[in-house]
Amino acid sequence: MAKSHVILLDTDQEELSRMLHQSDLKSKVYKRVSALLELHKGKTIEEVRSVLGLSYPTVAKLIDHYQQNGLACLQDKSKPGRPPAISGKQRAAITALACSEAPEGHGRWTLRLLADKVVELDYCKSISYVQVGRILKKTKSSRTSKSAGVSRR
């Protein structure tokens, strides 16, 4: 198998060597840095792959990414996804509402009552009682549990 070299710029080589000695370097990034340095020294993709426990395509992609993007190849690309629909402030307001006194005529808050009140108070445009339940379940307050007066009805 022919050797597959990566020719690092001097500044890139210095930066990679410096990064290799950081204590807070993530494992993925450490492997990428090590792979680039080893490839620069003249090792083959197969040698680097077997030493670092990476797959052949992973090392080959790293080489391509380095040649196209330089040291930016070390960072993960941002992953697509929908941003959270309900912010931390809104979650806190929902939790505070659940911990407040139940509306007149009701002995305790239900998830449906909470969902309706949250929309009525304009904390958010819409929310289901299931989502309200998930928000309250994630809190550590014992006041939001069933025994504290919030029911699923």
* pLDDT tens track for 7-23: 888 899 999 999 988 88
Number of structural domains (the chain) is 2
Q: Are residues 20 and 66 in the same domain?
A: yes
Written as one letter, the residue type at 71 is: L
Boundary residue ending a domain (41, 74, 107):
74
Mean pLDDT of the chain: 86
pLDDT at 3: 55
Q: Are residues 133 and 106 in the same domain?
A: yes
80 in a domain, yes or no?
no
Between the alpha carbon of residue 56 and those of residues 44, 52, 107, the distances in Å are 10, 11, 64
Show the domain range for 52: 10-74
79 in a domain, yes or no?
no
Model confidence, pTM: 0.53
For the range 128-135, what are the long-range contacts, defined as Cβ-Cβ under 8 Å and sequence gap of 24 or more? 131/86, 132/94, 132/98, 135/86, 135/91, 135/94, 135/95
pLDDT at 147: 46
Q: Are residues 101 and 46 in the same domain?
A: no
Q: Are residues 15 and 65 in the same domain?
A: yes
60 in a domain, yes or no?
yes
For 42-46, 74-78, 109-113, which range has the lowest pLDDT when averaged over its residues? 74-78
Q: Is the pLDDT of residue 1 over 80?
A: no
Quick one: CA torsion of 5, 27, 11, 3, rounded to 10 degrees? 0
110 in a domain, yes or no?
yes
Confidence of residue 152 (pLDDT cuts 50, 70, 90): low
Q: Is the pLDDT of residue 148 over 80?
A: no
Per residue in 48-94, pLDDT (tens digit) is: 999 999 999 999 999 999 999 899 888 888 778 888 889 999 999 99
3 in a domain, yes or no?
no
Question: Which is more confident, 80 or 109?
Answer: 109
Q: Is the pLDDT of residue 120 over 70?
A: yes
